[in-house]
Amino acid sequence: MLTKKRYSIMEMVLWTRWEIFAFLTFSIAVTILYHHVGYSFLKVPWTPVAVVGTAVAFIIGFQNNSAYGRIWEARKIWGGIVNSSRSWGMKTRDMVTAEHAKRSCPEEELKEIRKTLVHRHIAWLTALRHAMRQPRSWEVNHEHRTNREWSNMIHTPEKVTSLHDDLLMYLSHDELEHCMTKGNKATALLYLQSAHLRKLKEQGLLWEFSFLELENLLQEFFTLQGQSERIKNFPYPRQYASLATYFVWIFLVLLPFAIIPEFSKIGQSLTENFPFIGAYFVWAGVPFCAQISWMFHTMERIGRVGENPFEGSPNDVPISTITRGIEIDLRQQLNEDEKLIPAQFPEDHHVQM
């Protein structure tokens, strides 16, 4: 997620420079053919083009609203993960006690149990963020040239290190091997948490009411995971996404054939009083066409890059940063050595990942 207060105009120009060049080239070509070569039939009445433009504006607005809705829902889900994770850290610290233990249990052993529960939770967060970064066939943001440039400039943590390597510091060898054999690693880790809680209850290290409280939190984690997976695995409907792209390009192709003849007419009316300006006024339609085309296309493209909030683009939900923030918070509450707690992922070009 971009953290700068606003995009600079230079960043927007760089991001869309190839489209700007295409729009300018196309408008220049239409101007030359219509005004200089004499192909006066290359014109379209302005009224139908304006009607198409109005329809396209509605479609783009619908697409952008839907894309923003998906991003905002994803952010709320991960906000819920933050809150529930803090509750997990607090309750495991204060509910795992030897008050009802069936055997003698020193405080150091209790601390180790609490640490295991918290670290396994961090492993769940890690597995979930890795799952959310896995590519899907409909995630095509990386196919655009300038989007690939952005991807090469920033370093998505899930593309730098593997899940197996990330889980090494949180799980025992047996748990890691068990987890890696499952298709849904995050679900497997929540099952391990539940089994561990049951064992603690049987040993009297967890009061029955406390056991139910922690099990309810695990259920909440399942719910939040499922909500996140729903957004990841259900794309923005292709019929809307594809039609929006097709309609925008139809409008962009028709636009110069409507605007250039209009500017040519204005130039002819100026010739009598301002012959020099009138002779070249038609060329003012070129930047005018390019600007309108750029505005419509950029808004449509913004909607496209916002459809999948976990893809790893600069405008996505920064789940890696959120996860690392939870980890730092929980491990500090366990009074772990600050040297052992990893630092927050750095921002690349003002982008949180």
Residue 91 pLDDT > 60, yes or no? yes
3-state secondary structure of 353: coil
Q: Is the pLDDT of residue 3 over 60?
A: no
The Cα 129–Cα 256 span in angstroms is 46
In terms of Cα–Cα distance, which of 126, 121, 141, 203 is closest to 15? 141
224-243 pLDDT, tens digit each: 999 999 998 988 777 777 88
CA distance 329 to 131: 22
Three-class SS state of 351:
strand
Q: What percent of the chain has pLDDT over 70?
A: 92
Average pLDDT (327-341) is 90
Q: What is the pLDDT of residue 170?
A: 92
Helix (H, G, I), strand (E, B) or coil at 207: coil
For residue 353, pLDDT beyond 80? no
What is the reported pLDDT for 86?
95
Is residue 251 within 8 Å of 56, Cβ to Cβ? yes
Confidence band of 303 (pLDDT split at 50, 70, 90): confident
Coil/strand/helix, residue 96 = strand
pLDDT surpassing 90 at residue 221: yes
User: Average pLDDT of 301-327?
Assistant: 84
Cβ–Cβ < 8 Å for 132, 191: no
Q: Is the pLDDT of residue 332 over 90?
A: yes
pLDDT band at 68 (very low <50, low <70, confident <90, very high): confident
What's residue 230's pLDDT? Answer: 94
pLDDT band at 167; cut points 50, 70, 90: very high
DSSP output for 321-344: HHHHHHHHHHHHHTT--GGGSPPP
How far apart are alpha carbons 259 and 43 in whole angstroms? 9
Instruction: Provide, rounded to the nearest whole percent, the portion of the chain with pLDDT above 90.
Output: 38
Most confident of the following: 184-193, 237-246, 336-345: 184-193
pLDDT at 349: 60
- pLDDT score, position 157: 79
Residue corresponding to tokens 């789940």:
319
Q: Can you give the pLDDT at residue 152?
A: 65
| Mean pLDDT computed over 171-197 | 94
Model confidence band, residue 254 (pLDDT cutoffs 50, 70, 90): very high
Question: How distant is the alpha carbon of residue 76 from its chain centre?
Answer: 13
Give pLDDT tens digits for 122-166: 999 999 999 998 888 777 766 666 666 666 667 777 788 899 999
Average pLDDT over residues 267-296: 84
Please spell the DSSP secondary structure of 107-142, one letter per residue: HHHHHHHHHHHHHHHHHHHHHHHHHHHS--TT--GG
Q: How confident is the model at residue 263 (pLDDT cuts 50, 70, 90)?
A: confident
pLDDT confidence tier of residue 180, bands split at 50, 70 and 90: very high
Task: Find the mean pLDDT for residues 18-37.
Answer: 88
pLDDT score at 227: 95
